[in-house]
Structure 1
Amino acid sequence: MFFKCICRIDKMLVQFVFTAFAAIIFTAVLLEVVTRYITKKSNTNPQFLAFQRLYFLAYYPVLFGDWLNAPYLYKLYNSYGFMEEQIAIIYVCGFASAVVFGITSSYAVQKFGRCRTFVFATFAYAITCLMKLSSSYSVLILSRIISGAATSLLFTAQEMWYMSEHLQTHDFPPEWINYTLIHSSKGNGIIAIVAGVIAYLMSEVYGFGPVAPSVLSVVFLLGSCLIVVTKWKEGAKESTDHPRLVVRSNSTINKAGGSSSKKKFFKECGEGLRKIAQNSDLLQVGIIQALFESVLCLFVFLWTPVLDHHNPPLGIVFSSLMAATLVGGALYRISKSIFKNLYPAYSLLFILLSAGAAVLACVLSTHPSREFPVVSFTAFLMFEVMSGVYFPVMVDLKHKIELDKLDLAVTTWFRVPLNLLACAGLIFLHSSSNANGTRNLFACCVVIIAFAVAFSLKFTKSSRGHKIQSTETEELLT
C-alpha cells in the first residue's frame, strides 16, 4: 500500500511538471507579446545590428553550453554513487571558486587580453565537461573548481570585449547598450529553457544518461571559441573611464569600473567600504542583496535532491524554473508601464515576503515522513518568479542610491562572505545521514530572508526609501 502511494505521488508529480511547463511557457509568450505591444522601441541602425549579431554569435553558444551542464549535474554525481554530503562539497567548491575568481576576473582580463582570456577559459571549461566522464571524486572536485574559475573569466572577458568594441572601436552611443542588454537578458532565459529540454531528451528520452548534456556542451563551447578566434579582434586596451556591463544575469544591469591594476582594485574596495559605512542606504541595500542572493546560491543545489527521488523529468523542471524567471521579469516591466509611480522599495519588500512564503512552503513540504513534491515544485516556481522580479527592482534601487558604482565593494564586503557562509551551511546542515538536513537548510533560508525583510522594512521607512522611483531604468527594462 505504501509503495502504491509513492508511485501515485511520483506519477502525479511528472504529470504536474509537464502541465506546469506548458502553462508557464504560454504565460511567458503571452506576457512578451503584451510587453512588445506596450513598448515598440527598437534600434534599426544596420551597423549596430551587425555588431550585435557578431557579439551574440559567440555569446549565445557558450551560454547554451553553460546551461546544458545545469539540469543533471546533481543526478550525475548521484549516479556515481556519492552521498549527498559528498555532492554538497563538490557544489561548494564550484560556488567558492566562482565567487573568489569573480572578484579578480576583471584584473586578469585586463592583464592577459580579452580574446586570449576568453579562448583559454573556454578551453578550460570544455575540459572540465569531459572530466565529468570520470567517477573519481577528486577529479570531479577539481573539475568544479576549474569550471567555477573558467566561467567567471570567460563571461567577464566577453563583457569587456563588448564594452570596448561598442564604445571605443565603433563609437556607438552608450544608450544603445540598453538594446543589447534587453536582447541578452531575454536570450539568456530562452537559451536556458531550450538547454533544459535538450538535456531532458538526451538524458531520459534517448537514454544517454546524465553525463550526455555535459559532453554535448563541449561542442558549443569550442564552437564559440572558434568564432572568437576567427571573428573577434582584441582591439584597443579597455578604457577605465567606461563602466563594465554584466549582461549574463536575467534582467540585471551590473556596472563596475574595470580595474586596470591590482592597486586600483584594492583602493576601490577600501573606498567602497568607507562609503558604505557612511551611507545607511548603501549598507541596507547591500545587506539585502547579499542575503537574498545567498539563498539563491542554496537553491541552485536544493531543488534537485528535493525532487529527484520522485523521478520527475529534471530537464523539464529546470526549464520550467527558468521560464518562471522570464515571467517575473515580464510582470515587472508591465507593472511599471501601468503604475508609473511604482516604488522599488515597496516592490522589494513584496518580493522578499513572497519569496519567504515560498521557502516556508518548502520547509513544510519536505518533512521526511510527509513529503509533498508537487507543493515543493510549486514553491520553487514561485521563488523563481520572484527572482525574475528581484533583479530589475534592484537595478532601480542601486541606480538611485549610486550602489551600481560600488558593486565591486558590495561583492567583496557583503556577497562573498555571505555566499561562503551559505556554502558552509550546505556542508554542515545537509547530509544523507540527517533526514532533516534539507528541511534545516530551507529553515535557514527562511531565517535569512526574514533578516532581509527586516532590513527592507527599515529601508522602506526611511525618507529616501519613500522617494525612490524607477524613472531612469524604465526605458531599459521595458
Structure 2
Amino acid sequence: MDFYSASLVAFCTLDAILFHQTRRRECPRELPMEEGKLANPEGLKIARAFQRRFLVGYTLVVGADWLQGPHIYATYKYEKGFPEELVALLYATGFIASAISAAFVGQLADDRGRRALCHVYCLLNICSCMMMHSKSLFLSFLGRVFGGIATTLLFSVFEAWMIAEHHDLGLDNSVLPLNTVFENMTLVSSTVAIVSGIAGDAFVQAVGNREWPFALSALSTVAATIWIKAYWAENYGAGAGIEQQQTGLGRGVRTILADKRILAVGIASCCFEGAMYLFVFFWSPALKSARLRSGSEAELPFGMIFASFMCAMMAGAIIFSCQSGVPSTEGATSGLLMAMLVASASLSCAVLLDSERALFLAFVSFESCVGAYFPVMGFLKSELVGDDVRGSVYSLLRLPLNVFVVGAHSLAREGDDHRNNVFLTLAGLLVVASLVCKATLA
C-alpha cells in the first residue's frame, strides 16, 4: 500500500473511532432525564424532526456543490478547449458576481423569506449546471454569474433559515444546542464531499465526459427543491416589507460597524475563508512541485489526496466538538483562535518543508483547522447577529471575502516563489485576525 492509500485508510479509521466515541459521550446529553423519565420528550421529538428536515435538504445542496466543484476547471480547459487566461477570467467572473450579490441577497432573504431565497439558489444552480453543457462563451460567462450568486446564497441563507427556525421552535441547549447542528453540518459536508468526489470521478470514467457530473449536480438540486418546498417553513427577518428593503443594505452595514464583535468576526472570516479558497488553488501545484524536486514525474493521486483532506476536515470538527463542552461565546472564541493560529503555522511550515510527505501532512493540518473553524464560526455568528438582520449581515460579511479572493487571483503568478509568498502572507493575516479577535471577543 502506497503512502497516500495508507494515509486515507488511517484518516478514515481515525474518523470512525472519533465519531463512535463522540456519539457515546453525547448520549446522556441528547436524552436529558428527570426522575428516571425523559425531561422533555416533546422537545426532543421536535429537535430530531428539525435536524432531519434541515440536514436532508442541506445534504442535497452541498452534494450538488461538491459534485461540480472538482470538474469546473477541467471542463473549461479540456472539454471546451478554453485557453488558461479565459478560464481564469471565468473564475474571476464568478467571484465578482458573488461579491456584488453579497450586497443585496441577504436583505432579500430577510424581507422576501429565507426559504424563498433557498429556492432561488436551487434555480440558479440548476441553470449554471445546464450552461456547462454549452460551448457558447456567452452562456459560460452567464453560468459563472449564476454560480457566483448561488454560492453567496448557499453560504448565507441556508444557515440563516436554520438558526431562525431553531429559535422559532423554542429549542434550547438542553434539547439541541446550535453548535451541535453546526458540527453536524460540517460532518455532513465532509462526508458528502468524499462521496461526491468518488461518485463524480466514477461517472466521468464511465461516460468519458467531464460535463455529466453537472447533470448529477442539477438532479441533486432538483431533489433539494422538492424537499425544501415540502418540509421547510418560511421565515423572515423582523419588519419585512418594501420600505425595509430600501434601507436594508444600510441596516446591515450599520449593524456590522456598530458592534466591534461582529466586525472582528467579519475580519476573521475574510482572512480564514480567503486562505481556504486560495489554498484550493495552490495545494495541487505545491505537491506536484515537491514531487518533481524529488526526481519523480509520476502523477499524483489527486482524488485520494482530496479525500484525505476531507477526512482531516471531519476529524477537526469532531475533535473540536469533543473539546468544546457546554456551548459558550468564550469557548467558541478560544476554538476560533486556536484554529487560526494552527492554520497559520501549517501554512508557514508548507513554505519551509521540501519533502512531499511532510508538505502533505502540513496541508492535512490546515484542513483539520477548516473542520474546526466552520462550526465555531457558525456558533459565534448565531450568538452575535440578530434574526431580524441575519440574512443581510451574513451576505455582507462575504463581500470583503470575495473582493479579497478576486484581488489575490489578479496577482497570481507561476512558480514556487509566488506560491510561497501567498502562503506566508495568508499565515500573517491569520495571526493578525487572531489578535483582533483576542482583543475584541476574548
TM-score band w.r.t. shorter chain? 0.7 to 0.9
Paired residue for 2:34? none
CA distance in 2, matches of 1:163, 1:344: 17
Task: Answer yes or no: is the 8 Å Cα contact 2:118–2:158 preserved in 1.
Answer: yes
Aligned-pair CA distance for 1:68: 0.7
CA distance in 2, matches of 1:27, 1:76: 34
CA distance in 2, matches of 1:412, 1:76: 29
CA distance in 1, matches of 2:303, 2:112: 37
Bigger mean CA deviation after superposition, 75-84 or 124-133: 75-84
Aligned-pair CA distance for 1:305: 4.7
The alignment partner of 1:238 has SS state of coil
CA distance in 1, matches of 2:429, 2:379: 21
1:283–1:312 distance in 2 versus 1, CA, 3 Å = same
Task: Answer yes or no: is the 8 Å Cα contact 2:268–2:434 preserved in 1.
Answer: yes
Report Cα offsets for 1:52-89 as digits up to 9, x if no partner.
Answer: 43444433222211211122322223314444443332
Q: Does 1:326 align with 2:314?
A: yes
Aligned-pair CA distance for 1:272: 3.0
Q: Structure 1, unaligned stretches of length 5 or more?
A: 1-13, 242-256, 366-370, 469-478
2:424 aligned to 446, 450, 453, which one? 446
Task: Answer yes or no: is the 8 Å Cα contact 1:72–1:314 preserved in 2.
Answer: no
Aligned-pair CA distance for 1:259: 11
Task: Answer yes or no: is the 8 Å Cα contact 1:61–1:220 preserved in 2.
Answer: yes
Aligned-pair CA distance for 1:192: 1.7
Task: Answer yes or no: is the 8 Å Cα contact 1:200–1:316 preserved in 2.
Answer: no
1:311–1:132 distance in 2 versus 1, CA, 3 Å = farther
Paired residue for 1:23? 10
Matches within 5 A, 1:454-473: 454-457=432-435, 460=438, 462=439, 468=442
CA distance in 2, matches of 1:89, 1:274: 33
Aligned-pair CA distance for 1:197: 1.7
Task: Answer yes or no: is the 8 Å Cα contact 1:200–1:314 preserved in 2.
Answer: no
Aligned-partner residue type, residue 213 of structure 2: P
Paired residue for 1:474? none
CA distance in 1, matches of 2:158, 2:207: 35
Paired residue for 2:24? 37
CA distance in 2, matches of 1:282, 1:157: 18
Between 1 and 2, higher relative CO (CA 8 Å, sep ≥ 6) is seen in 2
Task: Answer yes or no: is the 8 Å Cα contact 2:344–2:430 preserved in 1.
Answer: no
Paired residue for 2:38? none
Aligned-pair CA distance for 1:357: 3.2
Paired residue for 2:278? 298
Q: Does 1:101 align with 2:101?
A: yes
Task: Answer yes or no: is the 8 Å Cα contact 2:66–2:196 preserved in 1.
Answer: yes
Paired residue for 1:268? 251
| Aligned-CA RMSD value | 3.9
Paired residue for 2:214? 214
1:324–1:454 distance in 2 versus 1, CA, 3 Å = same
Sequence identity of aligned pairs in percent? Answer: 24
Report Cα offsets for 1:311-357 as digits up to 9, x if no partner.
Answer: 4343333322222111111122223359x999666654543343233
Report Cα offsets for 1:364-413 as digits up to 9, x if no partner.
Answer: 56xxxxx865444333222111122233444676678x478897787677
Report Cα offsets for 1:137-167 as digits up to 9, x if no partner.
Answer: 4433321211121343366555555556555
1:200–1:53 distance in 2 versus 1, CA, 3 Å = same
Task: Answer yes or no: is the 8 Å Cα contact 1:125–1:147 preserved in 2.
Answer: yes
Q: Structure 2, unaligned stretches of length 5 or more?
A: 32-40, 289-296
CA distance in 1, matches of 2:306, 2:243: 38
1:287 aligned to 267, 275, 281, which one? 267
Paired residue for 2:227? 227
The alignment partner of 1:262 has SS state of helix
Aligned-pair CA distance for 1:447: 1.6
Task: Answer yes or no: is the 8 Å Cα contact 1:119–1:225 preserved in 2.
Answer: yes
CA distance in 2, matches of 1:211, 1:419: 26
The alignment partner of 2:102 has SS state of helix
Aligned-partner residue type, residue 327 of structure 1: A
CA distance in 2, matches of 1:189, 1:260: 41
Paired residue for 1:3? none
Aligned-partner residue type, residue 215 of structure 1: A
Task: Answer yes or no: is the 8 Å Cα contact 1:107–1:258 preserved in 2.
Answer: no
CA distance in 2, matches of 1:240, 1:22: 49
CA distance in 2, matches of 1:285, 1:262: 25
TM-score, length of structure 1 as denominator length = 0.72
The alignment partner of 1:173 has SS state of coil
CA distance in 2, matches of 1:54, 1:459: 34
Task: Answer yes or no: is the 8 Å Cα contact 1:325–1:384 preserved in 2.
Answer: yes
1:111–1:74 distance in 2 versus 1, CA, 3 Å = same
Q: Does 1:377 align with 2:360?
A: yes
CA distance in 1, matches of 2:425, 2:203: 39
Aligned-partner residue type, residue 142 of structure 1: L
Aligned-pair CA distance for 1:232: 3.8
Paired residue for 2:190? 189
Report Cα offsets for 1:410-464 as digits up to 9, x if no partner.
Answer: 767775235313312212323xxxx32x64144124223213314534654x5x7
The alignment partner of 1:200 has SS state of helix
TM-score, length of structure 2 as denominator length = 0.77
